[in-house]
Chain A
Amino acid sequence: MTQQVIFIILSVVLIVSAILVVTLRNLFHAALALMASFLGVAGYYVLLEAGFLGMAQLLVYIGAISILIIFAVMMTRRLMQTIETPFNSQPIVGLLGAGLLLVILIVVITGLYSVTPGAESLLGMAPPVEPVIIESSVARLGRAFVSADGFLLPFILISILLLAALVGSIYIAWPKHEEENS
């Protein structure tokens, strides 16, 4: 019961702030609403007993990505003006498309899984597991990352991707390089 109340509060925060992100005129306020929705997702992770991912969400999304976005908003200041419309020429079509996808997804989900709580066989509640399994999940994750029959190759590829992104974003945003070319 307590979990359900927490879930509903988190959902309201998440959905309201997500709607604010896509509708607010002022991009800076939209970035703040985006931080609130990231916080809601981190709450979900904690509710799903994935505390490590919740922490990573706090560090990576709220700590790094939101700050990057706020920096970008401030560096492109002219666009923070609130006179222009925030939408392009096709908001109605976009709304129709997204709404259609939402209806299809909800029909599929409610057809596959039970919506009412209870009934463990229909995944109406989280299957109870021994606390030691949840507690050792982070250790298992770490071992899976460095074992050859686990995720060693994707792990190495991700590190190369992050290095490439780091070097690439510095190269792209380097001002000298701009002046040489133009």
Chain B
Amino acid sequence: MIPLSWYLIVSAILFCIGLYGVLSRRNAIAILMGVELMLNAVNINLVAFWRYLTPDRSIGLAWATFVLSVAAAEAAVGLAMIITVYRRRDSVVAEELDLMKN
């Protein structure tokens, strides 16, 4: 007896918390954590719509699986880049990474 809107509202809250993290954290790893929260919110929406609208087809589940794999690839490449940047510049603060500025 859970309305669909409850899932959508919790997922909207989760998405906005993640967005706030992306917009206002200094550390690049923390920004990546915010992105992961946003991807999770999207996945909740996909699975909720699958269960409530088309439980006899597998579109929602398939796209949720794709989002999961893309998130894994994104985390692996992003963290490799962060570690490389840390090695070169001794910092992972997003504001200090201004090599391409000016």
Contact = CB atoms under 8 A, between A and B. Distances in A.
Given A61-B40, A106-B9, 7 more contacts: A18-B14, A49-B55, A69-B79, A72-B29, A79-B92, A98-B17, A162-B73
A127 B94 CA distance: 46
A91 B51 contact: no
Interface in B55-94: 55-58, 61-62, 64-66, 68-77, 79-84, 86-88, 90-94
Contacts of B44: 41, 44
The DSSP consensus for interface residues of chain A is: helix
Contact of A133 (B1, B56, B61): B56
Contacts of A162: 69, 72-73
Contacts of B61: 50, 52-53, 137, 141
A64 B75 CA distance: 9
- Categorize the interface residue count of chain B: 35 or more
Most buried by A among B26, B76, B93: B76
Interface residues of A, number: 99
A97 B19 contact: yes
A113 B4 contact: yes
A83 B99 CA distance: 26
Nearest to B90: A78
